[in-house]
Structure formats: C-alpha cells, structure tokens
Structure 1
Amino acid sequence: MIQIKQVVATCMAGLLLAGLALLPGTTYGQTIPSLKDTFKNDFGIGTALNNAQFEERDPQMTQFIVRQFNMATPENIMKSALIHPKWDTYNFEPADKLVQFGKKHNILINGHTLIWHSQLPPFMRGMKSADSVRTFFNDHIKTVAGRFDGKVFSWDVVNEALNEDGTMRKTVFLDYLGDDYVTEAFRLAQQAAPNTELYYNDYNNEQPAKRAGCIALIKKIQAAGVRIDGVGIQGHWHVGRVPLKAIEESILQYAALGLKVMFTELDIEVLPRNFQGAEVSQRMTANEQSNPYTAGLPDGVQQQLAADYESLFKLFLKHKDKVTRVTFWGINDGNTWLNNWPIRGRTNYPLLFDRNNKPKSAFYKVVALKN
C-alpha cells in the first residue's frame, strides 16, 4: 500500500513538474465543488462571457464554465454599438452563437442591454432631432428584443439611467425623449418580448439616495401599467467596504415592490481606487501605488476578500426567497474588466477563481456555507 501511494505521489509530482494542465473542475487531483450545484436550491449562478468563451475556443474553459455556472450575460455583443452598428444594419451573428451556447449547455442567457447611454452606435452622434432618436429607440428595441424573445431568459431593458443622487442621468435619450423614456422602453420591450423577463439594471442602487431614485423610477413604470419583472444591483464593491446593511435594505425594499432582486455584475475590487461604482467614463492616473500586487495578493487581503464574499453570500442565502440570481462579472481574475479599468494594465483579483481557474479562499468560504 505504501508503495502504491509513493507511485501515485511520484506520478502527480511528475505531472505538475511537466506543467501539464489538470482537468477543469479539479485541482491537484481533487474535485472542485460546483457553484451552480451548491446553490441549485437557492438562486442561479451566472457569469459574464466574452466571444472566445461562448465560441468554445478553449475546450477546458468550456468545461469549467459549464460545471460552475447555469446563467450567463454577454460582456459586449448585445450592446447597441455592436449589435446595431449602422442605421439599417444589425449584426446578430455573435448573439446567435451565444444563444446556441446557452441552449447546448443548459445555461440561461440574460440579454444585456437594450438601452444604455454608453457604447452607442457611431451614427447616433449625428442625430440632432427627437424624431431620429425616437426612430432608433423604437426600432432598436422592437428588432432586438423581438428577435430573441423566448431565446433569452431575460433582458436588462435599461441600464444605468440614474445619477448618484437618484435623479435621471443626462443622456441622449433623456434629452430628446424626456423623462418617460425608461417607461417607454419597458413598454416596447413588453410588446416585442412577451416571453422574456424584463429588468432595470444599475450600479450603486443599493445606496440610499440612488435607491430612492430607482424605487421612484420603478413605481412610475408600474403606475403606467407596464411590466417590469426585476431589478439588478450590479455589485461592484471594494474589499473591506462592502455595504452589507444598505444591500439588505435594498433587497427588502425592491422585493416589496413585487420585483425579483438579482446581483448582476458582482466583483470585489482589491486595488486602490478613489471612487466607488462602475461609471465607465471615469479614469485614474497610474502611479507607483496604483498596482501594488503584481507578484500576488497578500494573504491579509486574500482573507479579507474571502470574508467579504462569505458575508455577502450569507446575506443572499438569508433572502433567497427574494434573490433569484448572482452573476459574477467575469470567470476568473485573468479576464476581469478591472485589470484595465479605471487604469489599464493593472493586476486585479476580484473574483472567486484565480488566473488558472483555481479556486481561491473566497470560493471555499462561499461553498462552505452550504456544507
């Protein structure tokens, strides 16, 4: 028996020294728990996917995704600049591939997003009249939402329409279509996609002022007799400063409106940043202090990250009758957007899996809540 153990150990050591990859879902010969299976009776577990991932260019990554997640949101391909690049031209090919990927692997797809002030088609810069903006607005929602009705599980109908104080954000849609454009977007989506759940999505809408504005917006949609099924709290937070009290209050207040509550773009920043949220237009200047962990994350920060994720998932489980989905904005630390925002080229660690899809301490803290 001792000899057998020695042979096995020698073989494993040889494999590791040779740099041979372990199978997805395993680490040093041990099976990694599945997030989607761990929380299968509680809420869906999602991730953001890029083109290479849903086109299955890396078979091992595909296996990993399918084992860990049962919901997915596209990073970019359904945003209007990509899916509607010219006035009379739509590019559905990447989105169709995403839908096929979801169907093949039993992963529900959340469409992201129909109306957003950022990543607009270039031709919109030349629009100078309410008629042209309204024509784009109507045609875009009807065409895109209609094409994928019954093929995607849900849509982020409107994304980030609010300022931090809860007022309406100044956008081309607000300027030309007025305060009711969000309600109208949901009305059009309801007509075009009767078999699809319809959500409002934003960041920092767990914070009291922005939450109040979000609630007022939702009530306005409901008062107009228009369907809205849920609200997404993006969940871009910072290590050691996750606002658990505000998050819980938001779950309760949004659910009280009869809405599903979901966390749609979850990651926990570990690098220095002088603002919170996810305003994509904001930038910081690189300096000696802005990228401190290029050689690896210090153990103290790793443990704080794990504690933050553990506290978050305890809260999600406490309200699992209200929380329907938890989606991470990325699969692993290597493909998080936070490596390049708000400063390009940083080495960030905001997710549950490291750059080799190996689970971190935070992962084990989270799955241990169900064991």
Structure 2
Amino acid sequence: MKINKLLTLLFFLSCSLIMANNEAGGLDSTVIRKGISLKEAYKDKFLIGTTLNAWQIRGRQPEELKVATENFNSIVAENIMKSARIQPNEGEFNFELADEFVKIGEENNMHIHGHTLIWHSQAPDWFFKGEDGNTVSKEVLTQRMKDHIHTVVGRYKGRIHSWDVVNEAIEDDGSYRKSKFFEILGEDFIKLAFEFAHEADPDAELYYNDYSMAIPGKRAGVVRMVKKLQSEGVTVHGIGMQGHIGLNNPDIREFEKSIEDYGKLGKVMITELDLSVLPSPWGDAGAEISDSYEYEDEMNPFPDGLPGNVEQQFVNRYVEFFKLFLKHEDKITRVALWGVNDGNSWKNNWPVRGRTDYPLLFDRENNPKPVVNALVKLASTK
C-alpha cells in the first residue's frame, strides 16, 4: 500500500515537472514521441534548409547527412560550388563533389540551392589576370564570367532550382564594394552575372545574397541596386538575407523592415542562419570573412557547454526570429541554417579561431537541442 502511494506521488510529481517545463518553453514530450521533424512542421510555411560540407557530401559523416535529410527539405553547398573550388584554373572544371551534392538532393527529393556564382572573396586569381600578370580588360573578364556561369548553371539546368548569382557586392553604407569585379567592370558586373545565369537556365530562380541586411544603409543600397536592375529588364527573382545573428543583434525591428522592403522586389530567402552566443570583437553581426582576431579566453566563455540561462536566451532568440519569419511567410520561400550541427559550424573559428560556439539546432553529437521542439511547437500554433 505504501509502495502504491509512493508510486502515485512520484507520477504526479513527474507530471507537474513536465507541465512546468512546457510552460517555461522547455521540451514538449508529445512532440518528441510523435517525431515531428522541422521540415514536416514547416511544410506549409516555407522550405527549411541546411548546408552540406565536403565531408558530408563524400559520405565521411553519414550521421550528419542523416540529420540533414531527415530534418530539412532544402540543401545548399557550403564551399564546393564557389568559383575558386569548381574552376581553380581557367577551363578546368571540377564537378565531382558538386555532382554528388546534387545527387543527394535529388535522391532525397530536396530543393537544391546553388551557392555562389560570383563572389569576390573566393574567386580564383586567374579571373582577373592575363598571361602577362596584368589586370584583364572588361571584355576578357566579361567572357570569363559568361563561360563560368554558362558552364556551371548549364550543367545543372533543371536540377538546381535556385542560385545565389552575386554574393556580397554592397557595403554596409549602401555603396558598391570595390572588388576586382567592380574595379574592372563597374556595377555592370552584377547585371551581366544575372543575365548570363538567366540565359543558362531560364527556369531557375535567381537571388542576390548578402550579410548585415538589416542595416538601414545597406538595405537602401540593395533596394536601389535591385530596382535599377529590374527596371532594365534584368531577371532578379529575390533577395537572400544572410542570418548570421547574435543574442543582441541585429535589431529585429530593422530585420523586419528589410523583409518588408525586399519583399516588394520579389521573394525573400533567409540564408546562412546561425545564432552565435559568443561575444563579438566589434559588437555587430557582420560576416566579412577577411576579418579575424587573436584568441583570448574572455572571447571563449563557454568551452564546456552553455549555462542554462544562456541556453534559454538562445531558444528565445531563435523563436523570436521564427515568429517573424512566420509573420511574413507570404514573402519568405526558404529559411536555411548554415550548417548541420554545432561542431561543423564556421562560427567556431570566425572571427576568432579556436572558440566553442553553439549556433545551430543540433549539438555536436547530432542530437536535437531544445530549440528544435520550440520551433516545431511554434509552427503548430501559427
């Protein structure tokens, strides 16, 4: 009799704890039992994507690939389709990994996004130099861009559904980045890139992609640029807003203003989404990969795991942004995480190498973090 009373008491205590945890925004055991994935929860809202790296594509991390295919319905290649990787020398294309990447997407009935055709940061040096070592003419660079885009986009015509045609061409103040593309061709390099991509695959969706897209000056510059292109008859289907965010930046109200303004120009994709919990050396949400800083212990405060209060801040911040995405689901076609799990996130090494960050939805052992259930629950209430 005493044992039965004790068991009954323990049962009610456990129920109370579960209810309290749920009310506090914690794990929902019902969602866990049902096994509702992110892609299932958001299937009527927008695509949920992730990036794949070379090891995953080669099959060296099958457990990570399993997480990707079970939880996401869209993929993008992290590095292997950037121009320096796919055409390291003029006329010498290496499609081995890109072909495998596309095959993975097709075999799993996933939306496939191409990244990226024209980007100053990982363009091969030969793009801009002649045999004499001098800077090439406008005509030469134009032809090289055309050959590259036609070859890459043409190879995957009808198979890759959307492309980041031009990446990070606008500075935070709204001016054009003074890249080698701009130095040789001026702002016309952007127009040419979109024209070549549309010629190569008229049915693919074409996007401009950039970071810090909630900064008012940058927003104005991007809107100005895309409006001009569209007024000239250039096909630009939408804007990719990189989501490299922190616990305190960017201002979500400015992020919403950008979704609204970009949505007037076409479709919006939330790209490269990750949420860093670590301090930033400069205090904003930029993503200029050439920036780097020396390691200091104070910049790596959580080497052994997140404290409970920080974990809750992390969950709350992701939920805050996904509430915004759901509010504007009529404009947003895709929300894509920049990585499968915390262990393979670039944020562990940028802008300070050797740190331990926790920016994604799955932990280093490929387990869903509490935020996953929070996001699944959120979708069911909207």
**Alignment TM-score, normalising by the size of structure 2:** 0.87
Indicate if the aligned counterparts of 1:55 and 1:101 stay in contact, CA closer than 8 A.
Answer: no
| Secondary structure class of the residue paired with 2:298 | coil
Matched ranges for 1:232-251 at <5 A: 232-251=240-259
- Partner in structure 1 of residue 212 of structure 2: 204
Residue 5 (structure 1) aligns with: none
Map residues 56-135 of structure 1 onto 2, 5 A cutoff: 56-124=59-127, 126-127=129-130, 128-130=135-137, 131-135=139-143
Residue 150 of structure 1, aligned match among 139, 145, 158: 158
Corresponding residue of 2:182: 174
Q: Structure 1, unaligned stretches of length 5 or more?
A: 3-25
2:277 maps to 270
Aligned ranges 1:247-326 → 2 under 5 Å:
247-257=255-265, 259-275=266-282, 276-326=285-335
In the alignment, residue 51 of structure 1 is paired with which amino acid?
A
Q: What is the one-letter code of the residue matched to 2:360? A: L
Do the aligned residues in 1 keep the contact of 2:51 with 2:340 (CA within 8 Å)?
yes
CA distance in 2, matches of 1:32, 1:345: 35
C-alpha distance in structure 2 between counterparts of 1:62 and 1:283, whole Å: 30
Q: CA deviation at 1:32?
A: 4.4
AA of the residue aligned to 1:172: K
Secondary structure at 1:273 match in 2: coil
Alpha-carbon distance in structure 1 between the residues aligned to 2:170 and 2:62:
40
1:227 to 201, 211, 235: 235
Q: Which of 327, 330, 333 is matched with 2:336 structurally?
A: 327
Q: Which one of the candidate residues 220, 224, 227 is aligned to 1:216?
A: 224
Return 5+ residue gaps in structure 2 as ranges. Answer: 5-28
Provide the rounded CA distance (Å) in 1 between the counterparts of 2:281 and 2:349. 16
Q: In the TM superposition, what whole-angstrom CA distance separates every residue of 1:170-195 from its partner, at most 9, and x where no partner exists? A: 01110001122111111111111112
Are the equivalent residues in 2 in contact too, given 1:74–1:111 (CA < 8 A)?
A: yes
Q: CA deviation at 1:124?
A: 3.5
Structure 1 vs Structure 2: percent identity of aligned residues? 47
Amino acid paired to 1:330: G
Deviation at 1:261, TM superposition (A): 0.5
Out of 25, 35, 47, the residue aligned to residue 38 of structure 2 is: 35
- Alignment root-mean-square deviation, CA: 1.8
Q: What is the CA–CA distance in structure 1 between the aligned matches of 2:104 and 2:370, rounded to whole Å? A: 30
Q: Which residue of 1 aligns with 2:377?
A: 368
1:337 to 335, 342, 346: 346
Q: How far apart, CA to CA, are the structure 2 residues paired with 1:277 and 1:160?
A: 11
Instruction: Identify which of structures 1 and 2 has the higher relative contact order when contacts are C-alpha pairs closer than 8 Å and 6+ apart.
Output: 2
Deviation, structure 1 residue 30: 4.9
The CA distance in 1 between the partners of 2:168 and 2:200, in whole Å, is: 22
1:80 Cα deviation after fit: 0.4
- How far is the alpha carbon of 1:57 from its aligned partner? 3.1
The number of residue pairs the alignment matches comes to 345
> What is the CA–CA distance in structure 1 between the aligned matches of 2:336 and 2:346, rounded to whole Å?
14
The SS at the match of 2:213 is coil
Indicate the residue corresponding to 2:168 in structure 1.
160
**1:49 to 2:52 alignment:** yes
